Amino acid sequence: MRWTPGGRSEDVEDRRGESPGGRFGRGGMRLGIGGFLLLAVLSIVFKKDFFALVSGGPTASVEPAPAPPEPAPPSTPQEEQRIQFVSFVLDDAQKTWARILPGRYEKAKLVLFSDQISSACGFASAASGPFYCPGDRKVYIDLSFYDQLQRRFGAPGEFAQAYVVAHELGHHVQNLLGIDEEMRRAQRARPDLANALSVRLELQADCLAGVWGHSTGERGILESGDVEAGLNAAAAIGDDRLQKGAGRGVHPESFTHGSSAQRVRWFRAGLESGSVEACNTFRARDL
């Protein structure tokens, strides 16, 4: 991608090195795009729905004593470059959404953390991958996920990294438009469709990430190979590929994010159309 390294975004909160604390409760956290692998393996091995832990199921309430804020550790040159790149993507995507949704878009914050973090949606570890919390309207990411994206999932490249941020901001857009809450009501009314509805929400976030990607192409930010890198990232984290990687076979009934083919299809739909209207996965008969 064509971008100029510079300062950090004012919407980035650096909480690396901070001790986790806060409430363990009904989170409402959207499982990050890297987090499915861990929960899928646990659910299959123990024959228990571990996804309920992040979809509103009851958990214990713990109120630890407040701890003073800890300073973020100094960044290595590689980390600082990643922070500046994430800052660029965040600011560019939010400016784009402010143009697409004039008067309706409100900025999200992006929180950098290391190992584990406490959010308004509860406690999370780096193993959960990047995630968006509707409770505080913040995106959370441990930068080490980008190493996993490249080494474990075979998805290198800056646009692959940008796709991760854009996908989570897609969830922020859904939250602002009321789509997230509407989907949650539907899940409560039809628990048997909870996973299927989650898939449609995640695929829509992929499409919304593509809408931002379309705008970068129009503005000449993309370079040769960027689109392919983004599509490869979407394919790398499809539920079917993650389940195969865990060595447990493919179980479509347990999908929560969509197959590789579905994720590529909807990310491409946003990339090619640049239209929010093209992202209505809830009305699509065939995903």
Q: What's the rounded Cα separation, in Å, for the pair 276 and 223?
A: 24
Residue 146 identity: Y
Look up residue 64 and give its DSSP letter.
P
Element (H, E) at 125: strand 122-125
Confidence of residue 182 (pLDDT cuts 50, 70, 90): very high
pLDDT at 263 over 80: yes
**Residues contacting residue 220 through CB under 8 Å, at least 6 positions apart:** 2
The pLDDT of 239-267, averaged and rounded, is: 86
pTM: 0.81
Average pLDDT over residues 170-187: 96
Write down the pLDDT at residue 12: 96
For residue 21, what pLDDT band results from cuts at 50, 70 and 90? low
What confidence score (pLDDT) does residue 266 get? 96
Burial of 14 (0-12, 13-18, 19+ CB in 10 A): middle
Look at strands 109-112 and 116-119 and give their pairing: unpaired
Least confident interval from 36-40, 184-188, 212-216: 36-40
Say how many CA atoms lie within 13 Å of 177 toward its Cβ: 19
**Does residue 57 have a pLDDT over 50?**
no
Residue 91 has pLDDT above 80, yes or no: yes
What average pLDDT score do residues 259-282 get? 95
- Per the prediction, the chain carries an average pLDDT of 84
Answer whether residue 47 shows pLDDT above 50: no
Amino acid letter, 79: E
Residue 186's pLDDT is what?
A: 96
β partners of residue 30: 132
DSSP 129-156: -SEEETTTTEEEE-TTHHHHHHHTS---
